[in-house]
Structure 1
Amino acid sequence: MVEAQQDVKKDKPEFRNIGLAQLIHYRLPWAGKVSILHRISGAVLFLLLPFILYLLDQSLASEQTYQAFQGLTSNVLVKIICLGLIWCFLHHFCAGIRYLLLDLEIGISKSESNRSAIIVFFLGLGLTAIVGLKMFAIY
């Protein structure tokens, strides 16, 4: 009896923590990637919220500050930074809707969850591309 239990123990896989060297080769599922990006985009939006509100306040204060704000945003580097913030918002919004649906137990199977994560990822990129085309006056 003891020998049978030891054979079963030896056949079970042993899970250990992932080391830094193994982290490079680890394939994270789409749901994990979207989750990490959701957290990163939320943190960026939270940390930059005072700056964004200050810029909004300055743009609405008077006509002169609005023109100064318009001159600032005509710079290509500032447009790229704004596009990054827009991606953060759009990705966070789309992923938030996905998580609300998951909380309602809609799409909780593995295949549906994977599909919704892929949709959220590319929807955020696609919407950001549309805004970027408009921002850089290409569209």
Structure 2
Amino acid sequence: MSDIVKKQRPVNLDLQTINMPITAIASILHRISGVIMLFAVGILLWLLAESLSSEQGFQNAQEIVSGFFGTFILWGILTALAYHIAGGIRHLLMDMGYFEELESGALSAKVSFVATVVLSILAGIMVW
């Protein structure tokens, strides 16, 4: 009996051949953006503490934020926040019974991606 079960299982599962639907990609990215936001809170709290510590600390925080790397990090944080909010609204609507079918769920995922791109561009304009 155990030989039959072993023969039915895939021997080598090639993950590159599996096509995930856009709804799954949107859900996974929503979780990833949540983890990014968790770390972003730490970075932003550290910057706030540094800026409030003294006048020199404020100068240091201002230099960090005004440099390319700091600006890029802030833009990334704002982009992750934008996607997490767009994905969160999508999930809330799904919890209320909307966009639960495959076609409408795929459409709502695409809308959340487009909204994130627009908000990301606006965030880039704001920080640079």
Are residues 1:131 and 2:123 paired?
yes
Matched residue of 2:66: which SS?
Answer: coil
2:50/2:61 contact within 8 Å kept: yes
User: What's the CA shift for 1:66?
Assistant: 2.8
In structure 2, C-alpha distance between the alignment counterparts of 1:113 and 1:17, rounded to whole Å: 33
Q: Runs in 1 of length 4+ with deviation above 6 angstroms?
A: none
Partner of 1:76: 68
In structure 2, C-alpha distance between the alignment counterparts of 1:18 and 1:89, rounded to whole Å: 38
Structure 2: which 5+ runs fail to align? 1-7
In structure 1, C-alpha distance between the alignment counterparts of 2:18 and 2:70, rounded to whole Å: 35
Q: How does the TM-score come out when normalised to structure 2?
A: 0.81
Partner of 1:3: none
Partner of 1:33: 25
The one-letter code matched in structure 1 to 2:19 is R
Structure 1: which 5+ runs fail to align? 1-13
User: What's the CA shift for 1:117?
Assistant: 0.3
Higher helix share: 2
Are residues 1:100 and 2:88 paired?
no
* Aligned CA-pair RMSD: 2.3
Q: How does the TM-score come out when normalised to structure 1?
A: 0.75
Partner of 1:115: 107
User: What's the CA shift for 1:90?
Assistant: 0.9
Map residues 1-40 of structure 1 onto 2, 5 A cutoff.
Answer: 19=13, 22-40=14-32
Q: 1:15 to 1:87 in 2, by over 3 A?
A: farther
Q: Deviations over 1:81-114 (max 9, x none)?
A: 2211111111111101110110010121221111
Q: 1:109 to 1:81 in 2, by over 3 A?
A: same
